[in-house]
Copies of this chain bind each other. A is one copy, B any other.
Amino acid sequence: MGSPRFEPVRTVRAYERVVEQVEEAIESGALCPGERLPSERELMGQFSVSRSTVREALRVLQARGLVRSRPGDPNGAEVLPFTPAALHKSMTTLARVDELSLAELVQFRMVLDASAALLAARLRTDAHLTEMDAAIARMRESLTAGHEAFGAADVAFHDAVTRAARNKLIQICVDVVRSIVLDLVKERIAAAPDGVALMRRSITHHEEVLAAIRAGDGPLAARLSRESLYDYYAGHVRPGERAALRALLE
């Protein structure tokens, strides 16, 4: 017989054991969103650890967006439905500490948005098309209402497209990266002297994308999607990095 395969013993903190168990219960479905955890005092009994350890575990679970606890709540911490908040947080820190350039972010969105448009052209229902129509109509109405209303309508359009594509991961990632990019350029967008002209051109682009999706022409929808993003954001990207964006335009 072979010699036993010893594995390095990693000392695992008490609070981590608590995190693991609660996490497992939530991810396995044993605990559903809306349900409550036992109170901290009860948890310290069930896990045989002190109050501080329970609290450190709850802080970690809260940082991961799995639970939320409020003072005075007679029930324990609440199990939350999944939100991409944690994903958003880690991508944001990635963008900051790892010096992710605006070009990389826009390029990433061009890739995902184009794929969503491609899939949407094949998988969209009439209900999706109606939503996209309505979103573009709201964009047009928002021309004089300011950037925030226009932005909201824009988000609604892209959300309808990604939902039509039926891929939650693409949907979430597009949304996360969109908000990060928006955060990086929003002051410059608001200060743009030709803001209304930019919005008009953006509406035209969206209408073209929608027409391609309606016609079921996936490759065209994808190409138009990339061009639309390039047109809207290229001005904010450092000139030396624009070539990398154009590489996606054929």
Contacts and interface: CB of A to CB of B under 8 A. Distances in A.
A46 interface: no
Interface residues of A, number: 52
Given A93-B27, A111-B170, A169-B100, A64 B66 contact: no
A9 interface: no
A172 B122 contact: no
Interface string A1-43: 0000000000000010000000100110000000000000000
A94 B172 contact: yes
A87 B91 contact: yes
A218 interface: yes
A118 interface: yes
Given A64-B93, A87-B91, A248 B118 contact: yes
Given A52-B52, A55-B52, A248-B119, A169 B93 contact: no
Contact of A56 (B26, B55, B250): B55
Interface string A61-101: 01111100000000000000010101101110110111010
A166 B244 contact: yes
Identical copies in the complex = 2
A169 B105 contact: yes
B108 A93 contact: no
Contact of A90 (B56, B90, B100, B123): B90
Contacts of A104: 167-170
A146 to B, nearest CB: 15
A218 to B, nearest CB: 7
A153 interface: no
Contacts of A111: 111-112, 115, 170
18 contacts: A23-B93, A27-B93, A52-B52, A55-B56, A59-B59, A60-B62, A60-B63, A63-B63, A66-B93, A86-B90, A87-B91, A91-B169, A100-B169, A108-B167, A108-B169, A108-B173, A118-B248, A123-B247
Given A94-B168, A173-B173, 7 more contacts: A56-B56, A63-B64, A86-B90, A90-B90, A94-B169, A108-B170, A122-B247
Ranked nearest first, the 6 interchain pairs of A and B with the lowest CB-CB distance are A86-B90, A27-B96, A111-B115, A87-B90, A60-B63, A56-B59
